[in-house]
Amino acid sequence: MTSHPYRITVMGAGAIGKLVAAGLAQSGQAVSLLVRREQQAAALQENGIHVMAANGSRTVVPILATAEGSQLTSDLVILTVKSFDTLTSAKQIAEMNGVPFVLSLQNGLGNDEQLTAVLPNERILLGIGTYGATSLSDYEVAMRGQGEWIIGGRGGNRRVAEQVRAIFANARWKIRLSAAMQQEIWKKALINIGINPLTAIHRVVNGEIARRQELREQAGAAVDEAGQIAVRMGILSPLEAAQSIDRMLEICRLTAGNRSSMLQDIERGRRTEIDSLNGAIVRFGESLGADTPINRQLTWQIKQLEAGRV
């Protein structure tokens, strides 16, 4: 990677994409926001990114936004698109000028396998985040809870991971490096497996999962079932899997006012990431000969909502 400022492209302008792009741009990095719709690109160009803090204050961050990525030259692409768009995005990145490093800050399981099907393994970084954010419009995002970023190299590129950590730290983000990103990704997925489908089905904010006993029990059962699959696959230890329910409930409390991305997708009639969360647990279970009835039921319910059948 080059000397400061880094040329950074944030790919995907949902809640997390806007939040990350605004934070990095404010810290002095050369940030471009690559979106799919010309209408959103125009709105961002005209208005900048509006970041709403928990106390109600609004920060406006000017941003370069475009729906055409073929002419972008980037040192680093930060991928925040939905999991079902990962492969298409990887192909788009491969056509950029040069081959940039790529940091995936996505939800779900299996994104790294889709990236390495197209891009060099040694240029891929993996990351997860626990910041709460809600997209309010094409150019507005509200912070709903503090958290942290965790990143690590997939192909042994510790040096680049250190540089990216410094970039995020300079933007006043809380961030740490991990040498075990597969475990970190699964731990985050187990949290989403408990929170996302139930908030979407019941149309509630995250905090309601921890507050209401029936939702707390359902979410815990889904996480426990998924954790058992992670143990059988050799990804998590039994203790790590057992701790996942408490971690999920703690995130519910820390991001109590947040509307999960899956809830937002259902409310707006959009496709969700259920296939890379609860649906992935069903598929892994089938490959192991293990039944996963709770995650299967939640996946079916979300699919029904997506199709407008309920």
Spatial CA neighbour of 104 closest among 118, 27, 250, 171: 118
Catalytic positions, please?
188
C-alpha count within 13 angstroms, C-beta hemisphere, residue 297: 10
What tokens does 254 get? 């820390």
Phi-psi region of 269 (alpha: psi -120 to 50; beta: other; left: phi over 0): left
Give the single-character DSSP code of 75: S
- The whole-angstrom separation of Cα 82 and Cα 89 is 10
Residue 63, φ and ψ in degrees, nearest 5: -145, 145
Greatest alpha-carbon pair distance for the chain in Å reads: 53
Q: Classify residue 89 as exposed, middle or buried by CB count within 10 Å of its CB (0-12, 13-18, 19+).
A: buried
Pairing relation of β-strands 132-135 and 140-145? antiparallel
Query: Given 3-state DSSP classes, what are the helix, strand and coil percentages for the chain, each rounded to the nearest 5?
Result: 50, 15, 35
